[in-house]
Chains A and B, each alone.
Chain A
Amino acid sequence: MPEWLKKTLPPLIFGLALILGWELLTIITDADPRIYPAPSEVLSALFSNLSEVFRNAKITTLEMVLGFIFGATIGISLGIILAYSRIFRSAVYPWLIVSQTIPIPAIAAVLVIWFGFSIVPKVLVVVMIAFFPIAVSTVDGLKAVDPEMVQLMRTFGASKARIFREVRIPVALPYIFTGAKVAAAFSVLGAVFGEWVGAKGGLGYLLLLKNRAVNTDEVFAIILALSILGVGFFGLIVLIERLTIPWYHKARQLEGVQ
């Protein structure tokens, strides 16, 4: 059996078993399909509403991607400053952690007052969720460098900027990507929260609409679409990671980590 099949077969079989079990359960219990839709009904709801779902998914995707890009930019910059400035770190780091204890929907509601029903509040919510894991992992990554490797560069006569570019950044990249993967997975959440407090489009908005109408099969269809979006975005980051730091995966494969 080829290697990729060995990896993909178990989760595939497990997933199919779950879906099949769910389908059987709805048949055995004779559940009300409007409240407890079977997977087959969810799928048919998805396909019969495909254009609507697709139109709203584009909105949510834009919010996610914009929020992630801004969040990652802020997170990496903040991480670099935090790693290099002791004063900045001691003044700002505790507040950064406090900021993560604030319930995001509460902030989202205020953002709607400030920025209305535009795309801005949604993007900002995603930014708030995405920047933190990236900032923390950037700090960790920049500190993970082997001091002897820095010494080696110094014996070549390398400048600090050169050492940063050729040693610190490559050491930090695997850490930064770990943070980025967490951020990518959570940015769907951010976009949906942002839409719930006030929107005219997007999958989160559509979800609320269908929920109020008690179209449970369509609600599940949107949940399915959202999770496809999340997994897809996560997968995209993994792909970028593999292309950016191929040496890291080669080394890990040789050590038998993966």
Chain B
Amino acid sequence: MEERISVNNVSKGFGEGEARVDVLDGVDVRVGRHNFVSLLGPSGCGKSTLFNIISGLMEPTEGEALVDGSDDRLGTCGYMQQKDLLMPWKKIVDNVALGLMVKGTPRSEARRQADDILERFGLGGFGHRYASEISGGMRQRAALARTFLAGDDVLLLDEPFGALDSLTRLQMQSWLLDVWQESAASILFITHDVDEAIRLSDRVYVLSERPARVVLTLEIDLPRPRPYEMVMTREFAEYKAQAIRYLHPDEPALIDEEVIPDA
């Protein structure tokens, strides 16, 4: 099976009758092996609902969501929500090892792997601290480490850098790209930052306002590695122009029409 995540024509509504709210409207999303794919859309458009469905926390009203071709999804993805959700009663190493331990890895082996990934994530020596004793950026990296270990190489990252200041955010993007390159992970990444989506991804799905539909699929054909300065190249700007055009359809267009392909 080549696709690690495939979301086929998924719709989701909450409530019944008059009170029904449609959140997702026939969404198709695909993430291949070792791909980095982003969902770019306005806040509150239903991106997190899609993640809840892919991770198996929810079932779609219509359509199907498959991870490695299977409908039985709980326990298959590493899902990182916006909050770091580190448990204050566990030391960092035990937080990071938690997913593995729940899945049956013996404690000592799970801890060994957790120490290993903490070292790689620049958190070596912090494993025995409590979450309250480390900084926000470190907490985020620890949460990401936990997600990598728990995720069996399928990772759902819901605006992991949303709460960070823009400088830290850029550093974290570079860092995430490095970590991803060295791993076998397939990543689906939620953001509402256009630059972030294009810089990180192989493919960007641009979503509409609620109920969310995919209004544009951008295959990002930029070389890797991608240093931050790449955002100033012409190719990057063209991708950005297309994304913005579909994100803000009511804004007057400044860019030459021929840049934008048919939807």
Contacts and interface: CB of A to CB of B under 8 A. Distances in A.
B contact residues, range: 20 to 34
Interface stretch (A36-44, A128-136, A177-185, A246-254): A246-254
B161 interface: no
Q: Is chain A's interface secondary structure helix, strand, loop, or mixed overall?
A: helix
B89 A156 contact: no
A23 to B, nearest CB: 47
A251 B130 contact: yes
Q: Is chain B's interface secondary structure helix, strand, loop, or mixed overall?
A: loop
A158 B89 CA distance: 18
A254 B56 contact: no
Given A154-B74, A162-B102, A248 B88 contact: yes
B41 interface: no
Contact of B77 (A146, A155, A254): A155
Interface string B33-68: 000000000000000000010011100000000000
B79 interface: yes
Interface string B117-140: 000000000000010110000000
A46 to B, nearest CB: 43
A152 interface: yes
A224 B148 CA distance: 59
Contacts of B132: 247, 250-251, 254-255
Interface string A162-203: 100011001001000000000000000000000000000000
Contacts, number: 61
B75 A170 contact: no
Given A152-B79, A153-B102, A162-B102, A146 B85 contact: yes
A167 B132 CA distance: 17
A155 B56 contact: yes
Contact of B89 (A154, A155, A247): A247
A24 interface: no
B75 A247 contact: no
A94 interface: no
Contact of B75 (A155, A166, A248, A255): A155
Contacts of A162: 102
A157 B98 CA distance: 11
A30 interface: no
A250 B88 CA distance: 10
A110 interface: no
B157 to A, nearest CB: 13
Given A155-B56, A156-B102, A157-B75, A254 B85 contact: no
Given A151-B81, A152-B79, A251-B130, A157 B103 contact: yes
Nearest to A151: B57
B87 interface: yes
Nearest to A174: B89
Instruction: Name the 6 nearest CB pairs between A and B, nearest first.
Output: A157-B75, A251-B132, A156-B102, A170-B89, A155-B79, A156-B99
Given A157-B75, A248-B88, 20 more contacts: A148-B81, A148-B85, A151-B52, A154-B57, A155-B55, A155-B57, A155-B79, A156-B75, A156-B98, A157-B102, A157-B103, A158-B102, A166-B87, A170-B89, A173-B89, A247-B88, A247-B130, A251-B130, A254-B132, A255-B132
